[in-house]
Homo-oligomer: A and B are copies of this chain.
Amino acid sequence: MNATIKDVARESGFSIATVSRVLNNANASYSSKTAKKIKKVAQSLGYHKNNIAANLVKRTSTTIAVIINSVKTNFSFEILSGIQEEANKNHYSVIILYAGNRSDNLTKQAIETAIDRSVSGILLVAMQLNQENTEMLRDANIPYLFVSTHPNNPLEKFVSSDNHLITQTAVNYLIKMGHKKIGLVGIDQHTTGKERLAGYKKQMLANNLSINNEFVQYGDYSYESGQKIIEKIGPLIKNGDLTAVIAASDMIGAGLIKGAKKEKIKVPDDLSIVSIDGTYICEITSSELSSITQDFRQIGSLSVETLLKKKNSKFVPIKLIKRKSVKNLM
């Protein structure tokens, strides 16, 4: 059995990132003592980079690994369809690695599997990486990009919708419909949520609208989360202190509608809703959800093109689709 970088890491007690740096003679910071130790372990385990690993690189030069998260949303299949379609066109095959629900450990495993199989590129769908996983990915020297998330670091490449623009567009639409008491609900506390919050705040301020503390509610983009949020903002709505909200996902929007029904809050008479995503969920809900629609299929297909042709990062256009969940106050 031929040893892998993983084996060498386990046996030597060093991280995969460090082992990878040493065995690839990367220009990175490790002591000569560390290098010596690792090389010794690698030798004792029979690690042969130029034998198995190099052959693997050549064999698999037409495979893209897609690492996906199971966030509680429903759009991943659209993105995967787009990726698959574009990869096919370019005669690349795709393997998908599932990183569980925001688990750093499962994400690490997925990245290791991709590196270990020497894929030619990695797409990270709706993922956020911690420091360790980021370093491992960088050291692997395999092209990668973020899909449907806009990473903090400007050096990282991405294909995504523009989260600032999404909430700005939603606020503008609600203002045009006569709303002034507008909330943003269901966002997370990571990059995506922060950007959406920033866009919302900016546009509210630009229109001299004040933001009550309770106007912003956090969640996890899930249906359950949407239902819970109604309990918190119910009193505000009943008092007329909040007439409209932007839902951080269609699932949040669906949860809001369901929760509102229980609380005898009418959509859109008492509460107007614009949801973010615009998937089929918007049509299935009883009060058809107006939405800021993201083009997930294009996000998927553009991400492959960007990866393969080393194009620049890109925001994909969004669209406002008017359905029945917004009341016109004008």
Contacts and interface: CB of A to CB of B under 8 A. Distances in A.
Contacts of A281: 284
Interface in A1-55: 1-2, 4, 52, 55
Q: Count the copies.
A: 2
B70 A93 contact: no
User: Which bucket holds chain A's interface residue count?
Assistant: 35 or more
A76 interface: yes
A150 interface: no
Nearest to A222: B280
A298 B77 CA distance: 21
B81 A70 contact: yes
A59 B1 contact: yes
A59 B4 contact: yes
A88 interface: yes
A95 B97 contact: yes
Interface string A200-243: 00000000000000000000000100000000000000000000
A195 to B, nearest CB: 25
Interface in A88-109: 88, 93-98, 100, 106, 109
A117 B95 CA distance: 11
Contacts of A100: 84, 88
22 contacts: A1-B55, A2-B55, A2-B59, A4-B59, A52-B55, A84-B100, A84-B106, A93-B109, A93-B110, A93-B113, A94-B97, A95-B95, A95-B96, A96-B97, A117-B117, A223-B280, A223-B283, A223-B284, A281-B284, A284-B285, A285-B285, A286-B286
